[in-house]
Structure 1
Amino acid sequence: MSQSTIAPAQAEDRASFSFSRTQLDELAARVLDKAKAAGASACDVDVSESAGQSVSVRLGEVETIEYNRDKGMGVTVYLGQRKGHASTSDFSDAALAQTVAAALAIARYTAEDSCAGLADPHRLARDFADLDLYHPWALPVEAAINLARQCEVAARAVDGRIGNSEGATVSSHAGQSIYANSHGFSGYNLSSRHSVSCAVIAQEAAVMQRDYWYSSARAATDLEEAAAVGRRAGERALARLGARRIKTGDYPVLYDAALAGGLLGHFVNAVSGGSLYRQSSFLLDSLGTQVFSPLVDIVEDPFLPRGMASSNFDAEGVATVRRQLVAAGVLHGYFLGSYSARKLGMESTGNAGGSHNLLVAPTAGNLADMLKRLGTGLYVTELMGQGVNGVTGDYSRGAAGFWVENGVIVHPVEEVTIAGNLRDIYRGIVAIGSDIETRSSKRVGSILVERMTVAGE
C-alpha cells in the first residue's frame, strides 16, 4: 500500500489527538475490507480528526472560551459504476459496518454513471514531501486571553475615538486525516492553523465606522504580533471616519491585496470542472485563449512550505503538480478532479477538492506605488454582497474604500457599487502590486483595473 511519511519531529508532537496515525490507518483498512467483503467493486475512505481552542475578549472581558475536538469518517463505495456515500462520527466496529452497509444501499438505488469511479491508479501520489504544515501551539488559555487583550488594547489605544469594540480573538487548531482507497493508496495529512483577529468601532459625533484586521498562519511564529494586529484594526476603523459617496462614473479601480484574491476565486470557479461540464461558466472553452491581461502570470504551487493550500495529493489521492496556470494572460489549465475530467474527456489535474496555492507575479511596486499608478480613482478596501454571476461573468458588488487624486488618498468612500463583467475586468488589469497577501492560498498583491463603473451619487 502506497503511504506517505512525516518528519520524526512532527510525530513527537501529536499528543493532542485522540488517535495515532497507526490507528487511523487501521480504521481505514477495516472499512476497505468490510466494503470488499460486502460486495463493493471499489471503495474509498477519508478518516479525520481535529482539535482546537478559540478565546475571545471584548472590552477587556472574556466573552467566549471554546474547545473543539471532532472526528469523522466518510465512505464512498462503488457497485460497478453506481456510487453510494455515507458518513459517521462513531468509530466502533458496529458503526463502521453500518456505514458501509448504508453506502452500499444507496449505491444499489442510484443510476449507473459512466464517469463514476476512483481516480486512475497511475495518477495516484507516490512521493510525499514534507511541506512543513504542522506546528502545534501549546497555548494555555490564560496566555490566549492575555494575547487577545493585548490585541484589543492596542486597537483602542490608536485614538480616543475608538471607544467600542467587537472584540479580539486568538485561535489555534490542528488536524490529521487519512485518505485511502481500494487501489492500495493511503495518504496522510497533518496540519495546523492559528490566527489573531480584532474588530473595533470608531465614532465621531453620531457617525460610527467599523473595521478589522487579522493574521493567520500555519505556525504561531509566523503570526503578526497581537498588538500589531490590534493597531492595524484601529487605524483602519479610524481612517473610515468621514466617509461619503462619490459621483457615478467610470473610474480606474484599485483592489486592496486582501480583496484581490476574491477576483482569483471567481476565476477558479469559472475554470473548475463542475462549472465547465455543466456548461455554466463564462469561461467555457477558454483553454489556450487570452483570459487575463498579458501582464498576468499565475503559478499553482501545491508544494509551498507552510502554504495554506499545500498538499502532496488531492481529495482522491491524485498526485499534485506545480504548473504554470496562466502565462502572459493565456490560460493553460483547468481545475479538474477525476469525475469532471472524464465528463470533459480530459485528465485529472489533481484538483479534486479545489485549487492549491495560486501565486500571482507582481508587475509593480508596493501600495504607495500602486496608488500613484491609480492616479485618480477608487481604492477599494471592502466588498459587500454576492452580485457575481458565474454563468455570464456579470459583476456588481457593494464597496467601500478611499477616493484617490493624483496618487494621494483624499477621503474615505462608502455606499457605492462597482460593476463590470469579469471578462473585461481580467483583461483590464494594468498592474499587480508587490504588497502580496500571504494569509490565504491566493498569494497576490493589490490589483489595478483600468476602468470600472462606479455607482454613487
Structure 2
Amino acid sequence: MSDLQQSARTAIELAKKAGAQDAWAAVSRDRSVSLVYRDGKVEKVEESTSRGLGISLYVDGRYSSHSTTDLRPDRLAGFIKEAVALTRVLQPDPYRVIPDPALFKDRPTADLERVDPSVAKLTREQREAWCAEMDAKAHSDARVISAESNLFSGESQGAAASSNGFDGSWEGSYVGYACTATVREGEDKRPEGSAHAVGRFLSGLPEPAAVAALALRRAIDRLGSTKGPTVRTTMVVDPEAAVSLISRALSPLSAASIQQGRSYLAGKQGQKVFGDKLTITDDPLLPRGLSSRHFDGEGISAKRMPLIEAGVVRNYYVDTYYGKKLGMAPTTGSASNRVLGLGNKPLAALIADVQDGIYVTSWLGGNSDPTTGDFSLGLRGHQIKGGKIGAPIGEMNVTGNLAALFAKLAVVGDDPYPYSSLRAPTLVFEDVQFSGT
C-alpha cells in the first residue's frame, strides 16, 4: 500500500511543479479472476491485473482529468506536465473547484471488513472443483440440456492524495459464483433459471451446490409458463427483483440529474413522494457491505445518510461540482450501501396474506424515464392463488409511474436480498395494472 500512497503524493507534487494550483490523484492496483464451466468442462479462464493513476487538475480556473497506466517516474513527470499544459487551453469553468478540505474531517476508522485474505489464496483447482459441483447439481435433472457455472473473485488496493490535505487509502476483496440451467420443454421451448451469490467473504456465501440447486429449481418452475392476464391486482416483488425496481426509483436522486433536468425528484426534498412504508438509508459503514467505504471518490468522509423516511425525500447525492452549480452543500457524490427499513414477515407469510395477485420474480427488459418517473417493464413470475404461489406466467407488462407505484407500497418484508449493495426485501404493492392476454 505504501508504494501506491507515495505514487499519489508524487503525482500531486509533479502537478504543482508543472503549474497546477490544485490537483487530486488516485492510484489503484486490481486483480480479477473468472472461471467459466459449461456442461462438464472448463470453457474459459480469465485473469487480469492492472495498475493505474487518475489525476484531476485545476489550472487557472480550468479543469481536466487524465489517466495513465505507466507509473515510471520519468514517464509520469512528462505525462503530468503535458496534462497541465493541455488544461490551460480549455475554457474556464468557475464551478470546477477542488473539494473543501472541511469535508475530509471526521473520517470514520471502524473496520468495515472489506478484505477476506482467503480470497487471494483460492487456487484454480478449488475454483474448478466448485464449478464442477455446481455443474453436477445443475445437471441432476434429466430435463436439463445445458448448464453454465462461473466462479469469480477480485482484490483491489488504492490510495488517493490532494493538494489541499487529503490522504487516504483503501483495499477490498469480493468473491462469488453463478449458475444458469436450461431445460427442455416440448419441441421449441427452453426455459432457464439463474442464481448467483457474491460477497466480501467466502464465509458469508452459501455452498456452490446450493446456488446451482436454486438455478435448477427456477428453471423447472418456468415449465408450463403461459402469458399472464390483463388485470389490476396486488403485486408481490421478490427481493432480487426489488433491487432493480428500487434502483430505477432512486436513479434521479443525484445533483447531476437535477441540474440537467433529468429527475422527477427535483425540488422534492422534504416532501412526501412515496408511501409510508418506504424508508431507505445510504449506509457506507455497513460491515462487509459491497459498497462500504471510509470516504467517497472526492474524499468526503463517510457517514450514514437518510434518503427516504416514511416516503419523504430527505437527501440527494450532491458532489462538489453539481452542488456548486445548484447552490447545494455537498453530501456525497455517489451511492454506497442502500438499506431498506424492514417489516416483520417473510415471503411465504406475505403471499398467504395477499391470497390473489401476481408474484414477480424477474424483470424482462423495459424502461423508465428518470425525468417523469414513468415506466414500462416486462416481467415473469407466478400467479398467486388462494395464498399460494401458483402457475408460472410471463409475456406481460406492468406500466405506470414510479412515484405513484411506491405510493401504493403496502407491506415490506423481513428478507433483504444479501448479494447486492442495495438491500431490498419482498415488496407488496396494491392496485397495480398488468397488461397481458
TM-score normalized by the length of structure 2: 0.96
Match of 2:321 in 1: 339
**Structure 1 residue runs of 4 or more that deviate by more than 4 Å after TM superposition:** none
Q: Tell me, in whole angstroms, the C-alpha distance in 2 between the residues paired with 1:248 and 1:356.
A: 38
Q: Distance in 1 between matches of 2:168 and 2:143?
A: 53
In structure 2, what is the equivalent of residue 273 of structure 1? 255
Segments of structure 1 that go 5 or more residues without pairing to the other structure are 1-20
Pairwise CA RMSD of aligned residues?
1.4
Residues of 1 paired with 2:272 and 2:83: CA distance? 44
**Match in the other structure for 2:137:** 154
Partner of 1:257: 239
Q: Distance in 1 between matches of 2:223 and 2:59?
A: 62
Rounded to whole Å, the distance in 2 between the matches of 1:431 and 1:455 is 23
Contact 1:243 1:413 in 2 (8 A): yes
Amino acid at match of 2:126: A
CA contact (8 A) 1:325 1:333 kept: yes
Partner of residue 188 from structure 1, selected from 169, 172, 179: 169
Q: Answer yes or no: is the 8 Å Cα contact 1:85–1:106 preserved in 2.
A: no
2:122 counterpart (131, 139, 142): 139
Cα shift readout 1:213-263 (whole Å, capped 9, x = no counterpart): 011010111111011011011001100010001221222211110011122
Structure 1 residue 241 corresponds to structure 2 residue 184: no
Name the CA distance, whole Å, in 2 between partners of 1:251 and 1:450.
7
SS of the counterpart of 2:352?
helix
CA contact (8 A) 1:246 1:456 kept: yes
Residue in 2 that maps onto 1:124:
104
**8 Å Cα contact 2:40/2:132 also seen in 1:** yes
Does 1:296 find its partner at 2:292? no
Q: Once the two structures are superposed, what CA deviation does each residue of 1:410-439 show, in whole Å capped at 9, x if it has no partner? A: 200111111110110111111111121011
- Between stretches 302-311 and 322-331, larger displacement belongs to 322-331
Residue of structure 2 equivalent to 1:41: 21
**Aligned residue-pair number:** 433
Per the alignment, do residues 160 and 316 of structure 1 end up closer, same or farther by CA in structure 2, a change over 3 Å counting?
Answer: same
1:328: which partner in 2?
Answer: 310
Cα distance change on mapping 1:127 and 1:208 into 2, 3 Å: closer
For residues 93-133 of structure 1, what are the alpha-carbon distances to aligned partners after superposition, in whole Å with 9 as ceiling and x for unaligned? 23312331343234223222222111111111444322110
1:388 corresponding residue in structure 2: 368
Q: 2:270 & 2:95 partners in 1: Cα distance?
A: 25
- Asked if 2 retains the 8 angstrom alpha-carbon contact of 1:261 and 1:443, the reply is yes
Matched, 1:376 2:356: yes
- Within the alignment, does 1:28 sit opposite 2:8 as a pair? yes
Residue 187 of structure 1: how far off its partner (Å): 1.0
Written as runs of structure 1 = structure 2, the 5 A alignment for 1:47-66 is: 47-66=27-46
Q: What amino acid maps onto 1:241 in structure 2?
A: L
Partner of 2:150: 169
The Cα of 1:275 is off from its aligned counterpart by 0.5
Q: State the match for 1:309 in structure 2.
A: 291
Residues 410 and 97 (structure 1 numbering): CA distance in 2 closer, same or farther, change over 3 Å? same
Give distance in 1, aligned partners of 2:336 and 2:259: 21
Question: How many Å apart are 1:369 and its aligned residue?
Answer: 1.5
Deviation of residue 26 (structure 1)? 1.1
Amino acid across the alignment from 2:226: R
Match of 2:184 among 203, 207, 214: 203
TM-score (norm 1): 0.92
Residue among 415, 423, 433 paired with 2:403: 423
Cα deviation 1:302-349 (Å, max 9, x = unaligned): 110000111110101011111332221111111111112112211111
Letter in 1 for 2:323: A
Partners of 1:250 and 1:451 within 8 A in 2? yes
Question: More deviation in 246-255 or 398-407?
Answer: 246-255
Q: Is the 8 A contact 1:75 1:99 kept in 2?
A: no
Cα distance, 1:386 vs. partner? 4.1
Find 2:89's aligned residue among 93, 98, 109: 109
Contact in 1 for aligned 2:238/2:427 (Cα 8 Å): yes
- Output the CA distance in 1 between the equivalents of 2:164 and 2:341: 38
Q: Counterparts of 2:151 and 2:215 in 1: how far apart (Å)?
A: 15
Look up the SS of the partner of 1:303 in the other structure. Answer: coil
Maintained 8 Å contact 2:60/2:88: no
Residues 429-448 of structure 1: pairs in structure 2 closer than 5 A: 429-448=409-428
Q: Does 1:73 align with 2:53?
A: yes
What SS is found at the alignment partner of 2:251? helix
